[in-house]
């Protein structure tokens, strides 16, 4: 009988945020695979967890994954944890989980803290639709390119950012999104010096610049989506041109996807435009 692979969420700061189920799982597992065994040792010691540990991170995943799969197939259970929060959310583990599924090994989530979700819950921004984008490129050119690809998206955007890049990141966001775009800085969540600050990007940049403490620790940036509406005249012409080559519903779907509009709205607009064209043609003297 094969063992089970447990994906165990650990606290992102406050140790009281761990669940009893997570503690029980870590104690009962045969092995705990840690992103960094030294970091995890603090947590394990605090809760008197004596389960053997081994390192599993992005640099050794290729070599360690088959070894862990062998252990699971031999009947051992493995608990995977990251340095903090839920594994696989900008942390290692994907390759191991994928391999477990491929081998028919059971994968069990032990839920708990996640910085991304915690930040979204307190950001004061729309939470019905959101995209998690993890860490942006370290250099400005790559960062701006990435931000440009998301500039017109209407959903809330969630980013992780390193403290030494936070000023440059906010500066680039202003250049792409504009200084008035609402955003919430969530820093050191659940820890002693937690900061949650919601401001337009331009004001948020000044807030961070004026307080060096805001340039330290773990940072999550939650940025409002682009909520500007598009007037019909902005896309009428090329909506009609696309519709000359494609069926109406397909043409409307493409335009709606690009402009982040409702497909039904664009489709109705296309029908109106086409009806107007037919009316004009009919009324023209022969």
The pLDDT tens digits of the residues spanning 185-235 come to 999 999 999 999 999 999 999 999 999 999 999 999 999 999 875 555 567
* Rounded (10°) angle between helices 166-177 and 140-150: 40
- Summarize pLDDT for 129-185 with one digit per residue, the tens: 999 999 999 999 999 999 999 988 999 999 999 999 999 999 999 999 999 999 999
- Summarize pLDDT for 225-265 with one digit per residue, the tens: 998 755 555 678 878 888 888 898 998 888 888 776 778 77
Instruction: Give residue 279's pLDDT band: very low, low, confident or very high (50, 70, 90).
Output: low
Q: How far apart are CA 69 and CA 74, in angstroms?
A: 9
End-to-end Cα, the chain, rounded Å: 83
Tell me the whole-structure pTM to 2 decimals. 0.78
């Amino acid at each position: 009988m094969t063992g089970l692979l447990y994906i165990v969420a650990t606290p992102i700061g406050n140790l009281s945020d761990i669940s009893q189920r997570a503690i029980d799982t870590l104690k009962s597992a045969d092995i705990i695979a840690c992103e960094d065994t030294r970091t995890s040792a603090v947590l394990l010691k605090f809760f008197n967890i004596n389960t053997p540990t081994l390192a599993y991170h992005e640099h050794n995943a290729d070599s360690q994954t088959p070894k862990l799969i062998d252990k699971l197939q031999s009947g051992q259970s493995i608990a995977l944890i990251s340095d903090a929060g839920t594994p696989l959310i900008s942390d290692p583990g994907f390759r191991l989980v994928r391999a477990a599924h491929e081998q028919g090994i059971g994968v069990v989530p032990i839920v708990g803290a996640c910085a991304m979700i915690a930040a979204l819950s307190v950001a004061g921004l729309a939470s019905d639709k959101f995209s998690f984008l993890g860490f942006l490129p370290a250099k400005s050119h790559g960062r701006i390119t990435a931000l440009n690809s998301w500039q017109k998206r209407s959903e809330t955007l969630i980013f992780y950012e390193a403290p030494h890049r936070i000023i440059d990141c906010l500066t680039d966001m202003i250049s792409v999104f504009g200084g008035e775009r609402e955003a919430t800085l969530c820093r050191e969540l659940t820890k002693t010096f937690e900061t949650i600050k919601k401001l337009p990007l331009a004001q948020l940049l000044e807030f961070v610049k004026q307080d060096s403490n805001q340039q330290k620790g773990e940072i999550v940036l939650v940025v409002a989506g682009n909520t500007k509406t598009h007037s019909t005249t902005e896309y009428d012409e090329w909506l009609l041109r696309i519709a000359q080559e494609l069926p109406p519903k397909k043409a409307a779907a493409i335009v709606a996807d690009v402009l982040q509009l409702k497909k039904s709205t664009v489709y109705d607009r296309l029908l109106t435009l086409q009806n107007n064209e037919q009316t004009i043609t009919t009324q023209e003297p022969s």
